[in-house]
Amino acid sequence: MKEIPKATAKRLPLYHRYLKMFHDMGKLRISSTELSEAVKVDSATIRRDLSYFGALGKRGYGYDIEYLLNFFSRTLSQDRLQTVALIGVGNLGNALLNYNFKKSNNVHIGAAFDINEDIVGTVHNGVPIYPMSDLQEQLDLMDIEVVIITVPENAVQKIIPDLEKAGVKGIFNFTPVRLDVSEGIHVQNVDLVNELQTLIYYINASK
C-alpha cells in the first residue's frame, strides 16, 4: 500500500464513522457524491483518499460499504477501542469525563484517578475514580498506555515518575507546564489559555 498522506489519514475516522452509520442503516453501497454530502468533503478528494486503499468505486455502482469498512478496520485498527485514563478530576477533568469522546468510535476514558478522598471510590459518568496508589494496577489491568492530565500545575511534575513506572507511553497534558519525561514517552501539550491568547494576538495584530 502506498503511504497515506497525513491529510488523508486525518479524514479516515470521519469516513469510517459515516460508513458505519450507513452500514447500520442497512445500506450496501455508496457513491462518492453521497459520501461527500454526508461528510462535507468534496467528492474528488474522497475518490483520491479511497484510492489509496485500492478501493476504486465503479461508475453507477459506487463503493461497497462493507468492503470499505472491513478494509479500514483491518488496515487502521479503527475497530480497536483505545481506553485512556484521566488524572485529576477537577473542573476540567470533570468536563472531559462528561464529554468522554462520545462522538469517537475508538477512544474513551475508562478510568480516572485523584488524590481527593471525597471523590475517590465514586463513579462519574460511568467512569470509576481510583486513588493514585491504584494507578499501576489499574493501567495494567485495562491495558492503558495514554493518560490525560488535568491536575494543578504544581502537582504535575511530581506524578511523572509514577506514570513512568506504570508504563505510560503518551501524556495528553492540559497543564501549562512543560514536562520533563524520560525518552520514549510522548507528550502532547494542550494549553487552552495559551492557544486562546495566540488567537487573540493574531486578531489584534491584524487590526
The footprint of ligand ATP (CB under 6 A) covers 87-93, 113-116, 132, 150-152, 155, 159
Whole-angstrom distance, CA of residue 83 vs CA of residue 85: 7
Q: How far is the CB of 81 from ligand ATP (least distance, A)?
A: 25
Alpha carbon of residue 66 to chain centroid: 24
Give me the least distance between CB of 143 and ligand ATP, in Å please.
21
How far is the C-alpha of 202 from the C-alpha of 167, rounded, in Å? 40
92 in a known ligand binding site:
yes
68 is in an annotated binding site: no
Q: Which residues of 34-46 are buried (b: 16+ CB within 10 A; e: fewer)?
A: bbbebbebeeeeb
Q: Which is nearer to ligand ATP, 55 or 132 (CB)?
A: 132
Nearer to ligand ATP, 14 or 155 (CB): 155
Residue 88 among known ligand-binding residues: yes
Does 184 carry a binding-site annotation?
no
Residue nearest to ligand ATP (CB): 90
Residues forming a β-bridge with 21: none
Give the rounded distance of the alpha carbon of 87 from its chain centre: 16
Least distance in angstroms from the C-beta of 156 to ligand ATP: 8
C-alpha to C-alpha distance for 26 and 200, rounded to whole angstroms:
47
Residue 12: count other Cβ atoms within 10 Å of its Cβ: 18
Cβ closer to ligand ATP: 145 or 162? 162
Report the distance separating Cα 173 and Cα 149, nearest Å. Answer: 5
Residue (35 or 85) nearer to ligand ATP, CB: 85
Report the nearest approach of ligand ATP to the CB of residue 92 (Å).
3
Nearest to 8 by CA among 36, 53, 42, 49: 49
What type of residue is 108? H
Nearest distance in Å: CB 144, ligand ATP: 16
**Closest CB to ligand ATP among residues 180, 183:** 180
Annotated binding site: 88-93
Annotated binding site for NAD(+): 88-93
